[in-house]
Amino acid sequence: MAYVGPPVLLESLVLAPVHSLLHQSYRPKFQRNGVVNADGFGCGWYAPDLRPEPAVYRRDKPIWSDRTFTSIAGAISSGAILAAVRDATTGSPVEESSTAPFSEAGWLFAHNGLFKGFDGPEGLKLRRMLSDRRASAVRGTSDSEVMFGLILDRIDQASAPLDALRWCVDTCRGLSSGAFNFVLTDGVSIYATACGDSLFVMQNGERAPGGVVVASEPFDDDPAWRPVPELSAVHVCGGRISIEPLEEVG
């Protein structure tokens, strides 16, 4: 779940809605890969008046068991939030370093899906595409962190963020099958892809007046929610939502 707009409490989007990430962690409605997201969670938010880099809170346990986050989420507000719950790919260890959101250079990133065969030769080919700088920055064992590094490498080469996501989807699909729903934010804009799993957007909803939410699943019954078609790319900027076919971006 990613949000940009007027400042809101973390609690109001991540925990309070009837089908928030808290509820989705044990009873998702639309999730196509896995059934329970109990292998960790994380939340990142921006406080630009204090520093350019986002703050990140990540744990390697279910979101419903963390009373500390429940406490602080009701006391922190932000105009840009990215939160996720994790269902670890079979064989991948449950650890904080492999839990989204991942953060570097002012960006926050999450991936809903999997790269099939990441522990095999296909995954090795993917990892070898990382620059030395990004490869040395990888801390966990997840496919998602490697994809984030590849996207940042592409942005470093002057690619537009949405084009970098598109390139990563194309690259991953060229090597293996899987699901590649990405969401990336710099605290001002949101960039996302729908490739293999559900994705929804909401503009100016009851819980986010004046803002935009991009999420794997609606967190309430607000009629403002609308589904994003499969193989689409999403760009949110200035309160506006642009949705285009993934292959036509760039």
Q: What are the domain boundaries of the chain?
A: 2-248
Output the CA torsion sign for 44, 162, 237, 195. negative
In this prediction, residues 41-59 reach a mean pLDDT of: 97
* Interaxial angle between packed helices 143-156 and 161-175, expressed in degrees from 0 to 180 and rounded to the nearest 10: 130
Task: Summarize pLDDT for 126-185 with one digit per residue, the tens.
Answer: 999 999 999 999 999 999 999 999 999 999 999 999 999 999 999 999 999 999 999 999
Q: Which CATH class is domain 2-248?
A: alpha beta
What integer pLDDT is reported at residue 116 of this predicted model?
A: 95
Q: Give long-range contacts, CB 8 A cutoff, 24+ apart: 222-225.
A: 225/200, 225/201
Running DSSP on this structure, what letter comes out for residue 229? Answer: P
Q: How confident is the model at residue 90 (pLDDT cuts 50, 70, 90)?
A: low
